Amino acid sequence: MNTHQQGFTALITGANAGIGLALTKKLLSEGWQVAALNRSAFSPEDSFIQQALLSKQLRLYQVTDLTDYASLRTTLHTIRTSEQQIDIMFNNAGGSFPELAYSPQGREKHYELMTVVPYIILMELKDLLKHGRLKTVINTSSAVLRMTKKFSLEILEEPRTFRKLIGPYASSKLGLSLWTHAIAPQLALDNIKIRSVDPGSNNTIRKGKTSGLPVLVHMLMKLFFPPPAHGADKLYEGALGQHRDKTGVFISNNRMMELKYIDQAPRILERMHAIYKHEYLQT
């Protein structure tokens, strides 16, 4: 697909650093319009980004905390009233935390940020996707989900133990990929395709940020993992590459992979909708 043309718009969450920033720059360089949903502003020292902001090819929508529904609601309303369309939505924002932490709603924070919030963003901005031409949603997942040994909605909601990377982080990514699979037939009624994509191993370490990675993984990442542009290319390929006509699938290493615990996908989706309907919309 030739995307080197004006007129396409991508929404990217977590676009100010790491894979999200690399993806933002890649799309901007190809002439895309980019709407960025970030907690933090872009670096004032990045001249390329600052020029894109000045020209309004890149538009920043800032939220205090993606897991704070009051702040998220205000920002999503601004996006709905400011943007005309979304061709590809990249639900990319995430993070690994060093210990159990909780959202303002009282849910484990990995789960809230990386499983629940992408669903809310999709529901709130679905009409903009319907006005787009590509009508594609890419949820950033992770191959680490394959390391999940036990999984259930109860474990997602109230983890009894905590292990870096392979604990709540992995379970949350699995939950994301499961509801992605389950919602695909519903979205197909509006000609919207959705996939979860593993961006692979990337060096996303940021100075001054506490790592939620095991010590060994942190060392390996720093020494051997490729830069975030590698992950950005994976997400780009997941959106526009050979699997662009597929929906509901999990892609890793440019291949469609089977998901564990697929029988629990409908229950996870049902819970996402219940949170959206009874908590987000009614708060």
Confidence of residue 20 (pLDDT cuts 50, 70, 90): very high
User: Residues 221-237: pLDDT tens digits?
Assistant: 565 567 899 999 999 99
The answer to whether 141 and 198 have CB atoms below 8 angstroms apart is: yes
Q: What is the pLDDT of residue 95?
A: 86
Q: What is the pLDDT of residue 160?
A: 84
CA–CA separation, 247 and 242 (whole Å): 12
The answer to whether 29 and 8 have CB atoms below 8 angstroms apart is: no
DSSP sequence for 41-90: PPPTT-HHHHHHHHHTSEEEEE-S-TT-HHHHHHHHHHHHHH-S--SEEE
The label of the residue with tokens 């629990």 reads 264
The answer to whether 174 and 145 have CB atoms below 8 angstroms apart is: yes
User: Residues 236-278: pLDDT tens digits?
Assistant: 999 999 999 999 999 999 999 999 999 999 999 999 999 999 9
pTM of the model: 0.92
The pLDDT > 70 percentage for the chain reads: 89
9-280 topology per CATH: Rossmann fold (3.40.50)
Q: What is the pLDDT of residue 222?
A: 62
Segment 187-211 shows an average pLDDT of 81
CA–CA separation, 277 and 178 (whole Å): 19
The label of the residue with tokens 């009874």 reads 278
Domain regions of the chain by residue span: 9-280
User: Residues 61-118: pLDDT tens digits?
Assistant: 999 999 999 999 999 999 999 999 999 999 999 988 888 889 999 999 999 999 999 9
CA–CA separation, 266 and 271 (whole Å): 9
The answer to whether 252 and 201 have CB atoms below 8 angstroms apart is: no
CA neighbor of 71 nearest in space, from 24, 35, 103, 107: 103
